[in-house]
Structure 1
Amino acid sequence: ATCADNAPMENFFGLLKQEMYYGDPLVSYEELKKRIEEYIHYYNHERIKLKLAGQSPIQYRTSTSQSAV
């Protein structure tokens, strides 16, 4: 119910536009959809984040869930 509720998604969309889209020519809907799906996979599986101990979100989630057991 506050503007902070949307902050994670606004941050993600900002990164998506910066890293994937700016400067590229416009493409068809199908190509754009494919590029967004590829970027989401890259963001979750390959892109490291310093806040996550230099791991991707999937790696971090896996390592923290294993250490909790």
Structure 2
Amino acid sequence: SCDNARAEGFFGLLKQEFYYPRDWSGTTVGEFMDELDRWMEWFRSGRISQRLGWLTPNEYRLSLGYPV
């Protein structure tokens, strides 16, 4: 079987950083999905990463000469 540690790590991070710190009572499904979409966009392109030399993914791509 495949090792799913990276997926488990991602979903643990999603729960710790996105889900648990907020009170979601009174939030509609649509509002929740919009917030999740914003968080995912930030995670993919705006989150500072030690692995990337303390750059965001967008900054790292730019440093390699790739368009953002």
Q: When the two structures are superposed, what TM-score results if normalisation uses the length of structure 1?
A: 0.70
| Structure 1 residue identity aligned to 2:35 | R
Deviations 1:12-60 (A, max 9, x none): 1111111111132222211111111101111122110111111123333
The alignment of Structure 1 onto Structure 2 pairs a total of residues equal to 64
CA distance in structure 1 between the partners assigned to 2:55 and 2:21 by the alignment: 28
1:21 counterpart residue number: 19
Listed as ranges, the gaps of 5+ residues in structure 2 are none
1:59 counterpart residue number: 59
Listed as ranges, the gaps of 5+ residues in structure 1 are none
Q: Percent identity?
A: 33
Contact 1:45 1:56 in 2 (8 A): yes
CA distance in structure 1 between the partners assigned to 2:6 and 2:60 by the alignment: 17
Could you list the runs of 4 or more consecutive aligned residues of structure 1 that deviate by over 2 angstroms after TM superposition? 57-64
Contact 1:43 1:56 in 2 (8 A): no
Aligned counterparts, 1:1-69, within 5 A = 1-2=1-2, 4=3, 6-26=4-24, 27-64=27-64, 66=65
Q: When the two structures are superposed, what TM-score results if normalisation uses the length of structure 2?
A: 0.71
Alignment root-mean-square deviation, CA: 2.1
